[in-house]
Amino acid sequence: MPHILIFLALFMPWSASAYPEFIGYKYASCLTCHFNGHGNGPLNDYGRALWAAEIGGRAFAFGRTDEELGQASGFLGSVQFPFWIRPGLKGRQLVMKPNPPSSGAYTRNITMQADANLAIFFDRNQKYGFIGSIGYVPEPQRYANIQGGKKIEEMISREHYVRVLYGENLWLYAGMLDKVYGIRHVNHTAFNRAKLGFGQNDQAHSFIAHYIQPKYEFTVDLFMGNLFQDAKLRQKGVSTLYEYEPAEAWRIGGSALYSFNDYIKNGRVGVFNRYGFGDGSALLGELGLIHDDPKVGDAKLGYYFYGQAIQKLYRGYHVFVVGQLYKDDMKAGRPDLLRTGAGLLIFPASRFEWRVELENGRQFTDSAEVQRESWIILTQLHVSL
């Protein structure tokens, strides 16, 4: 298998989201598969090869070997691109139905992602390169219905950065990227992403230094906020991440962040665990504190938790359960939010992902009043070229 992956890695570009669950396949470092050493964005050549030869299912194999599937799964099929260019396309569509099976529930169909990305390299070893991604973001209906409202920009840069390998172990990034913090996974609405300021479109212009050793990784991220945003709103600051590998397929670590703009100061600190077992199964967990100090009003100290267990059934097919907790302020009377969910994560072939999840949400307070729970079913289809 390793010689097949190395052979395929010579010519296979692709793009994908971050899947920290893949530590279950014994791939602990995101740099193994991504141009961005903290995951997300386009896959590198080895990651593309790995996906076709090991992780993706064989629903459309039609008798072909893994090697043959890999050779035909480039951006233009079997066409090989020069070493200096790697293009990609990505689409992700979400169908969301609250309170199923209620016939009166409003079903929403949302374009979550429609991106074109491009990686350009200045040497064959890809030590020096530029990676960029442009995305289409449809104007939300609530804005479209406002007469005379300001037009929302629908084409955005999701990321654009230069990366350089300095020496043998230090990767340097400069440009617009996701902030470095905690477990980066595909669910951008999860409490440990959306509630902390790490949502789908929360990138910042940054300078990142990422030092990698076989047993540990350490990162410092100095960010200036999104320079396309109003200057008063830009969150400027610093974050750090440290991750250590006490055993194969097991990573423990911690993160910290401090940022500020003209209206608020934010602090986050957390610890996390990624543990792989079997052949493709994993446990993820992250726990942390949130401190928000606005210039007007009282400071808040809250907490968050994210946990996930994923079990591989057979190649390309997984079941998972998720549990989340969040509280914005640990003062009496503030609600605790709980989300639980279960679903399927399926990669029927190397270009496709299908995810379906049934999610339950509840709110608890100090009072004896029983809060109504909510249910929602989510279905995603993700296609990459």
Residue found by looking up tokens 């350009």 in the block: 120
pLDDT value of residue 31: 86
pTM of the model: 0.88
Q: Is residue 337 within 8 Å of residue 363, measured between CB atoms?
A: yes
pLDDT along the chain (385 residues), means of 10: 37 51 90 86 78 82 79 74 91 86 74 90 94 83 56 81 96 96 89 90 94 96 94 96 97 98 97 95 97 95 97 95 96 91 92 92 77 86 86
> Is the peptide bond preceding residue 101 cis, with omega within 30 degrees of 0?
yes
Q: Is residue 63 within 8 Å of residue 72, measured between CB atoms?
A: no
pLDDT value of residue 142: 58
**String of DSSP letters for 107-161:** PEEEEEEEEEEEEEESSTT-SEEEEEEEEE-PPPHHHHTSTTPPPPP-EEEEEEE
pLDDT value of residue 141: 61
Q: d(Cα 180, Cα 152) in Å, to the nearest integer?
A: 27
Residue 152 phi/psi, 5° resolution?
-85, 130
pLDDT value of residue 4: 37
pLDDT value of residue 266: 97
Q: Is residue 45 within 8 Å of residue 86, measured between CB atoms?
A: yes
Which of 337, 330, 344 lies closest to 373, judged by CA?
A: 337
